[in-house]
Amino acid sequence: MKPAVKRLLFFTGLILFWGLGSHFELWHETILPSPFSVWDALVAGFADLTLVYDLVASFRRLLIGLAVSLLIGTALGILLARSKTADDTIGSMVLALQSVPSIIWLPLAMMWFGLGEGAIIFVVILGGTFVMTLNVRTGIKNVNPLYIKAARTMGSNGIDLFWKVIIPASIPYLVTGARLAWAFAWRALMAGELLSAGPGLGYTLRYASDFGNMALVIGVMIIIGVVGAVVDQLIFQRIEKNVLKRWGLES
């Protein structure tokens, strides 16, 4: 059975159980609204364009923050891989910061940038930078020494060796780093928007929660999960698989 069919059957069964549980009042509507209530809330949200504006605002912040985090993470990863002093000093700090949840940065971001776009984008950048840094560093350090020796015997060294041999050999790690950076940045974005004062999925989630609109809360949570899964599987996962096959790392 194909994975897509398995997923379809699983989620169909899950929604069926959810609907039957709501129908027979196994839980209170205010705790877990029925699928029909959630559907109605989503239809209303898209009909008045609220959720459309939220998606546009969220993706704008994500694209800006993710692009910056990939640039910083790549540059920092190269620095750590090429300089032992930087790796022993900055590298240890990056490892420590990687373990800090993105939401922990919110108080600092709000003090520096207020409740506007700057604070959210700052959190998104931090969410994706460190994981990208570590993957780039690992990729460069794990380049097969035979590639380097072979290139040197053919007269390649210095910058030429780095850009034509080391970086291409590290591409699988860079792609995996970008995929993980996307996931971390998406989570950081939602955390940042929970305390924002403008449009965004996280802001609407908090707004709906404040007014007890659990149907919209569940609906926005579903949108967040679906967007994360679709982008990961249709874009980053496919790119990663193609790169791994091309580099002979996957059959």
Q: How far apart, in whole angstroms, are the C-alpha atoms of residue 115 and residue 200?
A: 13
For residue 61, being part of any structural domain is answered with: yes
**Residue 200 C-alpha from the chain's centroid:** 16
Q: How far apart, in whole angstroms, are the C-alpha atoms of residue 84 and residue 62?
A: 33
Domain count, the chain: 1
Q: Are 128 and 73 in contact (CB under 8 A)?
A: yes
Mean pLDDT: which of 133-137, 163-167, 193-197 is highest? 133-137
Q: How far apart, in whole angstroms, are the C-alpha atoms of residue 59 and residue 69?
A: 15
Residues 6+ away with beta carbon under 8 Å from 94: 76, 80, 130, 133, 134
- pLDDT (0 to 100) of residue 90: 92
Q: Are 177 and 135 in contact (CB under 8 A)?
A: yes
Q: Which two tokens stand for residue 56?
A: 């546009």
Q: How far apart, in whole angstroms, are the C-alpha atoms of residue 78 and residue 177?
A: 13
Q: Calculate mean pLDDT across residues 134-148.
A: 88
- pLDDT (0 to 100) of residue 71: 97
For residue 83, being part of any structural domain is answered with: yes
Q: Are 109 and 127 in contact (CB under 8 A)?
A: no
Q: Where residue 243 falls among pLDDT bands split at 50, 70, 90?
A: confident
- pLDDT (0 to 100) of residue 26: 84
For residue 89, being part of any structural domain is answered with: yes
Q: Calculate mean pLDDT across residues 19-40.
A: 88
- pLDDT (0 to 100) of residue 113: 86
Q: Could you give the percent of the chain with pLDDT greater than 90?
A: 51
CATH of the domain at 130: 1.10.3720.10
For residue 22, being part of any structural domain is answered with: no
Q: How far apart, in whole angstroms, are the C-alpha atoms of residue 180 and residue 60?
A: 19
Q: What's the longest Cα–Cα distance across the chain?
A: 76
- pLDDT (0 to 100) of residue 117: 86
Q: Where residue 248 falls among pLDDT bands split at 50, 70, 90?
A: low
For residue 206, being part of any structural domain is answered with: yes
Q: How far apart, in whole angstroms, are the C-alpha atoms of residue 197 and residue 204?
A: 10
- pLDDT (0 to 100) of residue 194: 85
Range of the domain at 185: 54-246
Q: Where residue 188 falls among pLDDT bands split at 50, 70, 90?
A: very high
Q: Is the pLDDT of residue 24 over 80?
A: yes
> Closest Cα to residue 222, out of 41, 53, 10?
41
For residue 20, being part of any structural domain is answered with: no
- pLDDT (0 to 100) of residue 25: 83
For residue 59, being part of any structural domain is answered with: yes
- Would you mind telling me the total number of residues written for the chain in this entry? 251
- pLDDT (0 to 100) of residue 249: 64
For residue 194, being part of any structural domain is answered with: yes
Task: Decide: pTM greater than 0.75.
Answer: yes
Element (H, E) at 235: none
Q: Encode pLDDT of 77-134 as tens digits.
A: 999 998 999 999 999 999 898 888 888 888 888 888 887 788 899 999 999 999 999 9
Q: Is the pLDDT of residue 74 over 90?
A: yes
